[in-house]
Every structure is written in structure tokens, then in C-alpha cells.
Amino acid sequence: MKFTYYGHACFAIETNGTTLLFDPFVTYNELAKAKNIHAEDLKADYIFISHGHYDHIADAVFVAKHSNAMVICSWEIMNWLLEQGVTNVHPMNTGGKHNFSFGTVKCVVAHHSSSMPDGSYGGNPLGFVVTTADGNFYYAGDTALTLDMQLIPRWTTIDFAVLPIGDNFTMGPEDAAMAAGMVQTEKVIGVHFDTFPYIVIDKHAAEKLFADKQLELILPEIGSSFDV
């Protein structure tokens, strides 16, 4: 699988020729703008939206309309997207699993909140466990550390986890390292850090904290791609 980071919690995973895009948000991210990344650059066959906050959905309508990708999100976010003319949507909710062309998606608990940019209710925030012929991974979305994460290895052996580590609104590095233990992976890609003053982290300290626990923390450069 190929991982491409677009900044904040926006990333793409290419698996067997299918591009899965998560939480499209670049237009209002100064760090992505500084790397010359624009919504037009976001390619997708499927778009996953973890919850309705603008820093996860701001570019979703644009990218969905340009790519005609299928959007996977909560029922409530689907209704918000339908109002804006996005029609290729597959609604899911916590605990549910579905088979798509690229593999299986299981929606898991994320302890957070979810309101849409217009203030309407966004349904449950979601995490995603994605199983493909190419490998398996967990994207936590925005969440606190939660004991529910212990269920994930009972369902799926994952190759890596994409976890928020910016603290303040979500897990910070210490809790993300504990989450890695709960989901039984040694490889974590950290997201949701540095974008705003509230979530600026000491990256060297975070990497050391993980290394001390024999865990690998990847804090990708915005715009970078690598194999996972």
C-alpha cells in the first residue's frame, strides 16, 4: 500500500490500484497551502469522512463532485452531502461492516463529537478498520484513547494504525502509544498535529516516547508518499 500525506488528518492510501482518501481538508490548512497542495490535487476512488468537523470535511464536496468517488460516512453526514448535490454516498454507523470493491470496512467507536459546518448534527464520529488483499489498517479519526480499541485485534490483524497525536482535541502522543498497544501494532502514522496552535507538538519528544516503547512513529512530511 502507498500512503500519501496531505496534512492534518487528510491522507490517501492506494491499495491494488484503488485510492482511498480520508478526511479531505487542504484549502483551509495553511501548512498544506505552504506546500502548494490544493483540493484539485486530491484524487480518490473512495472518500472516507470520520466526522463532520470542518477540518475533516471542508474539501469533501469539491473532491466528491470532481472525482465522482463514493463517499463512506455516517447517515447524518450523507444527508448533509445529499443537500449539496453529492449523490454517490454509502452510509454506515458504529459497529457496522461492509464489503466494497477494495476490501472490507468496519466502523468502530471514536470518542469525540460530530457537528457539520452549518451546526447540524453529524451523527456518531467514526473510526475505520480497513481490510484489503494488500494489507489491513486502522484509522482512528478524532478520538480519545478508549478501551474499545482492544476489540480491534479480535477482529483484524492490522499492519499499521493512523492515529491522531496532536492532543487538546484528541489523543496526544502518550495515549496514542497506548492505543498502539491496544490495537496490537508497532507501526503508527501520526496525524492531526501542528495544523493549529492548539495542537502543536514536540515531534522529537513524541518520536522518542514511541521509540522507548519499541514502537515506530511516522510523522509524515506534508506532500510525501511512502510504502506501508
Q: Which residue's CB is nearer to Mn ion, number 127 or number 132?
A: 127
Q: For residues 146-165, which are near Mn ion according to CB under 5 A? A: none
Least separation, in Å, of the C-beta of 141 and Ni ion?
8
Q: Which residue's CB is nearer to Mn ion, number 45 or number 55?
A: 55
Residue 121 exposed, middle or buried by CB count within 10 Å (0-12, 13-18, 19+) = middle
DSSP state, 163? Answer: E
Q: Is 167 in the site for Ni ion (CB under 5 A)?
A: no
Q: What are phi and psi of 47, to 5 degrees?
A: -120, 125
The one among 55, 134, 167, 175 contacting Mn ion by CB under 5 A: 55
Helix H or strand E encompassing 19: strand 18-22
Residue 58 exposed, middle or buried by CB count within 10 Å (0-12, 13-18, 19+) = buried
Q: What are phi and psi of 83, to 5 degrees?
A: -60, -25
C-alpha separations of 131 from 24, 68, 85, 99, 218 in Å? 21, 23, 30, 9, 21
Q: Which residue's CB is nearer to Mn ion, number 54 or number 226?
A: 54
Residue 189 has which C-alpha cell? 502514522
Q: Which residue's CB is nearer to Mn ion, number 155 or number 196?
A: 196
Q: Is 192 in the site for Ni ion (CB under 5 A)?
A: no
Q: Is 142 in the site for Mn ion (CB under 5 A)?
A: yes
Q: Is 53 in the site for Ni ion (CB under 5 A)?
A: yes
Least separation, in Å, of the C-beta of 51 and Mn ion?
8
Q: Is 8 in the site for Ni ion (CB under 5 A)?
A: no
Q: Is 76 in the site for Mn ion (CB under 5 A)?
A: no
Our CA angle for 53, 220, 54, nearest 5°, is 10
Binding residues for Ni ion, how many (CB under 5 A)? Answer: 2
Q: Which residue's CB is nearer to Ni ion, number 64 or number 199?
A: 199
Provide the binding-site residues for Ni ion, judged by CB under 5 A.
53, 142
Residues that bind Mn ion (CB under 5 A): 53, 55, 142
